[in-house]
Chains A and B, each alone.
Chain A
Amino acid sequence: MECLFGFVGDGFALVVADTCANQSIVVQKTTEDKITCLDSHKLLGCIGESGDRVQFSNFIQKNMNLYHFRNGIPLSTSAAASFTRCELATALRKAPYQVNMMMAGYDKRTGPCLFYLDYIATLQKLNKGAQGFGAYFILSLFDKYYQKNMNVEEALQLVDKCIWEIGTRMVASPANYVIKIVDRNGARLLARRGRNMSPNLPYAKIS
């Protein structure tokens, strides 16, 4: 039951993913990083079939690198998203990659942006989006609490609300999450969260 979501704030974009690697009923690892830094200013969160997830995100990362190497400048986020979509679309009718993604990036001219990428290569630019079973809970929370141009503190509060909701209402919800941010200064790890560790919530905790 993987979760991946993200949204755009004031001069930054946030991507949150769970960090549990499961194989049927066994939790193999709780520190699996599902958000790859494609380059200095891009993040690709990827969930789905574990082999495809690792292979495909590395493949895209290396291609970003290759473009930069050949041309001297990095790809813009929308170009990177478009390239990724084309790779997925080409493979779709041969050997599809079963991965759902959220790509976030910061471009100097256009600022932060977020893209939703389906496993069947549907691409859409969004301000807020979610993938996986968690989306059924998160999208409603976004509709209620997301505002444009939130700062990082407000954004983290929204993330905490989402994590708490998934932890309370979703069966077999993941225990841990990683939050990565991309802004003017680059793409980096912002915080980690555990399902029962979400701070400063006005809800009663029942342990």
Chain B
Amino acid sequence: MSITSYNGSALIAMVGKDCFAIASDRRLGVNFQTIACDFQRIFKIHDHLYIGLSGLATDVQTMHQRLNFRHKLYQLREERNMRPETFASLVSAMLYEKRFGPYFCEPIIAGLNDDGTPFICTTDLIGAKQLAKDFVVSGTASESLYGACESMYKPDLGPDELFEVISQALLASVDRDCISGWGGIVHVVTPNQVITKTLKGRMD
């Protein structure tokens, strides 16, 4: 099995009207053996910025620790939070630093700009940044996720409808991938609040 499909993962981020949603599956596995059903792949950087990391679980945890560290230093120096574009560039640079011995994770960055407009982007494991206007996906189930998101997505959805769309897309896709799934977690972020919900899907 390839190194990026050793642990299994599925991640989506979608843009709505003045809000965004980011969702992931919850399975942690070792090849075909399931170890846990509550693995955290989406991390909060600050109130309006979330990063989801797919791929090898150890690199997910290492990247999260390093990014948290860099953002906290930035907060101490600049006395403010990082903007999503800046953070995306930071992630890209950190990944490219390891160009010839990379971290085997593919992040999804989702945030709200200061004026409330949502921002999403994804990079590959060596930091090639790709912005998007509608949705980004990552993980072992990414082919299914692209199809599900493309058919279910509509622009300018409110927070409740966006939650429905992203949840259905995630659950439909992970059912077609044996190494991701075992439930899901969705964060819907608006300028004033974050709504976090866990999904119960097929627990296999």
Contacts and interface: CB of A to CB of B under 8 A. Distances in A.
To the question of whether A and B form a pair in one complex, the answer is yes
Interface of A: 85-86, 88-89, 92-93, 116, 118, 120-124, 126, 129, 135-136, 139
B62 interface: yes
For the residues of B in contact with A, the DSSP-based class is mixed
B12 interface: no
Given A121-B58, A122-B57, A124-B36, 12 more contacts: A85-B61, A89-B58, A89-B61, A116-B36, A118-B30, A120-B58, A122-B28, A124-B39, A124-B57, A129-B35, A129-B36, A136-B33
Contacts of B33: 135-136, 139
A116 B35 CA distance: 9
Which 3 A-B pairs have CB atoms at the shortest separation, nearest pair first?
Answer: A121-B58, A122-B57, A120-B58
A120 B65 CA distance: 16
Interface of B: 7, 28, 30, 33-36, 39, 56-58, 61-62, 65, 101
B61 A123 contact: yes
B56 A120 contact: yes
Contacts of A124: 28, 35-36, 39, 57
Contacts of A139: 33-34
Contacts of A120: 56, 58
A93 to B, nearest CB: 6
29 contacts: A85-B61, A86-B65, A89-B58, A89-B61, A89-B62, A93-B101, A116-B35, A118-B30, A118-B58, A120-B58, A121-B58, A121-B61, A121-B62, A122-B7, A122-B28, A122-B57, A122-B61, A123-B61, A124-B28, A124-B35, A124-B36, A124-B39, A126-B35, A126-B36, A129-B35, A129-B36, A135-B33, A136-B33, A139-B33
